Amino acid sequence: MITALSDDTSRLRAAVDFVTGQDSESLLPLLLPGLDGPELRALVEQCHFAHAALLVFPSHPDALHATLAECGLFTDAPPQPSVVVRERLALRYGRAAVDLEVGILRPAVLGHDGRSRVIEVFALTVPPGSALEDIAVQERVRHDEAHVAFEIDDPGPLVLRGLRSCFTHHGAVPDGGGYNPHENGTVFHFAAPASSKAPYRRIELYAPGDHRDQLDSHLTEFRRGQPAETMLRMLTGAWTTQALSVYAQLRVADAMDIDTARDAVALAGTVGADPDSLTVLLRYLAMLGVVVEEGPGTFRLTALGALLRGDDPGSMRPLALMYGGPFYESFGALAYTVRTGQVAFEHLFGTNHFDHFAADPQLAELFDQSMAASRRMFDPLPTHPVLAAAAGRPQGATVVDIAGGNGELLGRILAAHPGLDAVLLERPHVVEAARRRLDATRCTFVAGDFADVPSGKDVYLLSRILHDWNDETCRQILRHCAAAMTADADLLIVERLLPTDNSPSLATAWDLRMRCNIGGRERSLAHYARLLTDAGLVLVGESRLPLDSHVLHARRAPRTADSAGRGADGGRAHIV
């Protein structure tokens, strides 16, 4: 731990002396005793000592620059918001993050080796008598945010993984981190090993750019030792859903720009919101990378936040409204589903979600839009090799999208394969919406349900349909498909697959959601194979898609004398 000096000026001077007197080659062995020559040389080649950091507590924003000047530190740059330190302080002291405006300044110093370094100064303004004084008192003693940092010169995935592995091999323990969208940088924090001889007990690896895939793995290791923090983050997950949903409801993203920051008060006037409350909402979303706070009360949209624009071609706004609206309400009754095995949505609203939405034209349109928005996430599907093979048939081919919604996915398939024709099978009101989207010269529209699957076509598509239903209804749907298919026709099924090894998967989360909100379920590959067999079909292959999804490729099983007489099973299920 650095020396327990109580005033910020003395602490800053000690940091300056340390940074100017160290370099990578001398500091790394102090932090990680046991580094041998080859390992040390490898680390020095991949990262360099960049700064020492500490948290100070000026009584007024203007007082910070005066304190820095006393220590020979000067910078003209305005403070940038610190996402990582603000979150850490909020969790440590049980405060709301929006009440902790932590800024970062980086005045430069010159090391003894001639290399430029910085003193990274985190600043939390604490006026006399402020309720934040207890944080200042404790942090000046504990120095929890004080650290030394090494910047990675070429932060590729292999380099990042290797550096993290080397640090943990020599006793450093993952200690948090985060992605800062304000400067597009990812930080990995470690607690120094007990044997460390350096005065700083925390180490930071700084990687320019967005490396949240690596960060997720790092934070998973960290949270194993922080159960209370992990539980708190999980318990507050509903806040994020509602924050995004409200942001979408108010169309705030439509009123913002990626290149130019806007004042929150002016934004509030545009979208019809309370200025103070909208500012708090935007600061919360800034922690998620949805917006960036460029200066006090001014915010800029990010590429992530632009996904909630209503006019964006890849807009996920309908999903935000659906997940934060009807499905959020029914998920609040999850206990009913877990206790009884029945569908919470039906218990809450008195009918299944298909009929509930159909009775309300606005909800029906929102549901269809949300389905179309989620279909855009399966980008590789239009060029899947099975579809490519169908498009290459000499006589051309026809794709039947069964319960294809408003034609979003089918339109993308037709655009990718000019030689294909199509049939869209849907409910009557949805067919009318699809007519406005799809080229009628290449697409035939059929209003009906699963019993109306047209016969004799080349490729049949069930995209995220079967997970809406129980096993018996799935068998009925698949039997209708089998009855319509010729011997050389292809059936493509897009679904998430439950893992067989208990590994983390979106399918596991969606399985809970489907049982609570829809009455369906996710299934394993073997489960789908059994359903196909029961329906007279056979699984002949599967390929991965993004977001833990797969394309299952099935064909009609060879007909036997017994199966030829059975035909399609009865029962006309509602199309979804």
Residues paired with 426 in a beta bridge = 447
| Residue 119 CA, distance from chain mean position | 33
> What whole-number distance in Å separates Cα of residue 52 and Cα of residue 19?
6
User: What span, in angstroms and rounded, lies between the C-alpha atoms of 301 and 296?
Assistant: 15
Among the listed residues 429, 422, 383, 387, the one whose alpha carbon sits nearest the alpha carbon of residue 406? 429
Q: For residue 3, which amino acid is it?
A: T
Q: What is the DSSP string of 504-567?
A: --HHHHHHHHIIIIIS---B-HHHHHHHHHHTTEEEEEEEEETTTEEEEEEEEPPP-HHHHTT-
- Sorted by sequence, the CB contacts under 8 Å of residue 535 that are 6+ apart come out as 475, 478, 479, 481, 482
Choice among 65, 353, 384, 467 that is catalytic: 467
Is 467 marked active-site?
Answer: yes
Q: Are strands 443-447 and 420-426 parallel, antiparallel or unpaired?
A: parallel
Report the alpha-carbon distance of residue 186 to residue 214 in Å, rounded: 9
Distance CA 554, CA 567 (A): 18
Torsion, CA 423, CA 425, CA 430, CA 436, rounded to 10? 10
Residue 491, classed as helix, strand or coil, is: strand
* Helices and strands, counts by H and E, the chain: 25, 19
Dihedral of CA 320/326/329/332: which sign? negative
What's the burial of 334, exposed, middle or buried (CB within 10 Å: 0-12/13-18/19+)? middle
Q: Where does 32-191 show beta strands of DSSP type E?
A: 47-56, 80-81, 102-105, 108-110, 116-124, 147-152, 173-180, 185-191
Beta bridge partners of 463: 494
Question: Which residue, 303, 270, 297, 294, is CA-closest to 281?
Answer: 297
Q: What are 387's two structure tokens?
A: 């579809």
DSSP bridge pairs for 574 = none
Active site residues: 467
